[in-house]
């Protein structure tokens, strides 16, 4: 990934099948890597879109007894009032901005880049007009559905509420499912149609 952390490997990339006119940057969850998500996007890809799945740096995570694992930032606790790793979140945002800047240098306009992620991976933006798709399993034991509902309500105060879509998946735990991936594909294809 971009930035000053030389120990972080290069992102897993699913190249566009033809000239890339858009990009999706997708962040994995805690303890994961970008490889599995790259494989998932390879299964639903559109030929004009480049999919970039960076790998988080390995760092100690307070929540997991300081065990070192891939993590975008430290997680101190899971309750809504838990302290947050502000400096880690800012560093992760800088690294993602560097990826965006690189894609812009590669010729992809910033309005043709989608940011997304799983669990720890989702990130926010300052543009009130952005579209957001938030997906959540109704049986998630790690991040309860209530947290997803609280997040979507907060998002609606930060961006145009009409641009926020919240989908739940019956029986899905802290994972992904085929229907969710098809909904993600539909969302991406709507926002990033072919332009040539």
Query: Bridge-partner residues for 53, per DSSP?
Result: 12
Asked whether residue 2 is assigned to any structural domain, the reply reads no
d(CA 102, CA 135): 28
**Annotation marks residue 174 as catalytic:** yes
Asked whether residue 3 is assigned to any structural domain, the reply reads no
Q: What is the mean pLDDT of residues 90-111?
A: 94
Q: Mind listing the pLDDT tens digit for each residue in 20-49?
A: 999 999 999 999 999 999 999 999 999 999
Query: Does the pLDDT of residue 4 top 80, yes or no?
Result: no
Q: Which domain holds residue 25?
A: 12-192
Asked whether residue 136 is assigned to any structural domain, the reply reads yes
- Please report, for the domain that includes residue 157, its CATH number: 3.40.50.1820
Total number of domains constituting the chain: 1
**Annotation marks residue 119 as catalytic:** yes
**5: confidence class by pLDDT, cuts 50, 70, 90:** very low
**Annotation marks residue 110 as catalytic:** no
Asked whether residue 131 is assigned to any structural domain, the reply reads yes
Sign of CA dihedral 52, 17, 104, 184: negative
Q: Looking at 46, 174, 175, 183, which residue is catalytic?
A: 174
Asked whether residue 92 is assigned to any structural domain, the reply reads yes
d(CA 154, CA 123): 13
Distance of CA 147 to the CA centre of its chain: 17
Asked whether residue 43 is assigned to any structural domain, the reply reads yes
Asked whether residue 5 is assigned to any structural domain, the reply reads no
End-to-end CA distance of the chain: 29
The pTM of this model reads 0.87
DSSP 3-state of 87:
helix
Residue 115's pLDDT is what? 93
Residue 81's pLDDT is what? 86
Q: Looking at 35, 46, 119, 149, which residue is catalytic?
A: 119
- Cα–Cα distances in Å, from 55 out to 16, 96, 97, 168? 20, 11, 14, 26
Asked whether residue 163 is assigned to any structural domain, the reply reads yes
């Amino acid at each position: 990934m971009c930035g000053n952390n030389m120990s972080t490997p290069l992102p897993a990339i699913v190249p566009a099948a033809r000239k890339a006119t858009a990009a999706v940057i997708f962040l994995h969850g805690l303890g994961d890597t970008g490889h599995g998500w790259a494989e998932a996007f390879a299964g639903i890809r559109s030929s004009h879109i480049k999919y970039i799945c960076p790998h988080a740096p390995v760092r100690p995570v307070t929540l997991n007894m300081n065990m070192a694992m891939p993590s975008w930032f430290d997680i101190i606790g899971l309750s809504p009032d838990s302290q947050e790793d502000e400096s880690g979140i800012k560093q992760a945002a800088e690294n993602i901005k560097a990826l965006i800047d690189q894609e812009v240098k590669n010729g992809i306009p910033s309005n043709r880049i989608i940011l997304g992620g799983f669990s720890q991976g989702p990130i926010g933006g300052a543009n009130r007009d952005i579209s957001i798709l938030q997906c959540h399993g109704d049986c998630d034991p790690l991040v309860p559905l209530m947290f997803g509902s609280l997040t979507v309500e907060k998002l609606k105060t930060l961006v145009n509420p009409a641009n926020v879509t919240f989908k739940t998946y019956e029986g899905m735990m802290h994972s992904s499912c085929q229907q969710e991936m098809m909904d993600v594909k539909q969302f991406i294809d709507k926002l990033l149609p072919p332009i040539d």
